[in-house]
Amino acid sequence: MTSGVPRAVPPDASDMLWENLRELPAFRALIRAIEGRLIRELGPLESPLLDVGCGDGHFGQVVLGGLDAGLDLDLSSLEKARRRGAYRLLAIASAARIPFDDASFTTVLANCALEHMPELDRVFAEVTRVLRPDGRFLFSVPNDRHNENLLVARVLESVGLSGVARRYRSWFKRMQVHHHMYTEEEWRRRAEAHGLKVVSCRPYLSPRATALLELGHYYGAPNVLNKALFGKWVVLPYRPRFALMERFLAPYVAEDGVPGSSCFFFVARKA
C-alpha cells in the first residue's frame, strides 16, 4: 500500500445521485448520494485508506474511485467488491478484530456501518490501533432523532395511536439492524474514550428526507423482486427513465444543516 499520498477525487461529482440511482433503490441512492457529497467535500483523502464494512464496494467505487483495503463479514458482498475491482485488498473480518498491523492506515472510513456493530467500543479501539498518528477516522451514523423522524410513527401519534407508533419504531429499528443511535455528545464520548479526537460533526438527512428514506423501503418493493430474479436492484439503468426521480431527490441531496436531522457525519483524528 502507498503511504501519505492524497487520493484523487473522481470527476463528475454532480452525477453522484445518478451513479447511485443506476444501481440502487431510490431510498438508498438518496442517503448514499448525501454521504458521498459530504466525503467529497473533504477533498482528497490520504492513503492508505481502509473501508470498514465495505459491503459490495459500490459506495467506495462511486465516491472515491477505489480504496486500498476493505473488510466486511459478508463473503458474498466481498465477492461482489472483488469483481468491481474497487479495492486493492479485501478481508473477511469483523471490525472488532481488524486483521491489520498497528498504524497501517492514514484514513479509515465507516459509512453507515458502526450502528450495525454490537461491539462498538471494541471497534473504536481497533480503528484507533490501525490508524497512524494524526490519521483520520470518517464515520457516518444515525442519531437519536432518526426514529423520532419516521413519518408513519408521527402520523400514528397524531391520531392518538402512540402505542402502535412505539411498536412501529421498534420494528423499524430491528428491520434496519440498528444497535446504536445516539446524541452527538454520546457519539463523541464513545470515540474520544478510545483516543480519537472529534474535529467536526455535520448533521444530515433532514426530517423530510428521513420520511422519504422510510417510505422508500415500501416504494422499493419492485427492486426486491428485481434482485431476486436478476441479481440486481435496477434492471434497466437508462437515465431518462429516472429524470423525474433525479429532479425530485436532488434538493434533498444538497440539504445542509437542517435542524433535527437524523444522522451525523463525523471526522475524528487519532490523538
Assign domain 13-144+180-270 one CATH number from 3.40.640.10, 3.40.50.150, 3.40.50.1970, 2.40.50.140. 3.40.50.150
Domain ranges of the chain: 13-144+180-270
Q: Which three cell numbers stand for residue 66?
A: 477505489
CB distance 208 to 252 below 8 Å: yes
Q: pLDDT at position 14, please?
A: 54
> For residue range 24-67, what is the model confidence (pLDDT) as tens digits?
999 999 999 999 999 999 999 999 999 999 999 999 999 998 89
Write the CB contacts of 261 (distance below 8 Å, at least 6 apart in sequence).
143, 145, 203, 204, 205, 206, 207, 210
Which residues lie across from 89 on neighbouring strands?
A: 69
The Cα–Cα gap between 221 and 68 comes to 34
Q: Which three cell numbers stand for residue 89?
A: 485488498
- Strand ranges across the sheet with 49-52: 87-92, 67-72, 49-52, 105-111, 131-142, 263-270, 196-204
CA separation, residue 140 to residues 35, 207, 242 (Å) = 8, 17, 27
Question: Within the chain, which residues score under 50 in pLDDT?
Answer: 1-13
Q: Which three cell numbers stand for residue 194?
A: 478510545
CA separation, residue 216 to residues 34, 138, 210, 211 (Å) = 16, 26, 10, 8
Cis peptide before 259 (omega within 30 of 0): no
Burial of 185-216, coded b for 16+ CB within 10 Å and e otherwise, reads eebbebbeebbbebeeeebbbbbebbbbbbeb
Q: For residue 128, with 0-12 CB atoms within 10 Å meaning exposed, 13-18 middle and 19 or more buried, which class applies?
A: buried
CB distance 165 to 157 below 8 Å: yes
Q: pLDDT at position 4, please?
A: 42
The residue among 100, 148, 96 whose CA lies nearest residue 124 is 96
Q: pLDDT at position 271, please?
A: 86
CA torsion through residues 29, 30, 32, 38, sign: positive
The Cα–Cα gap between 234 and 33 comes to 16
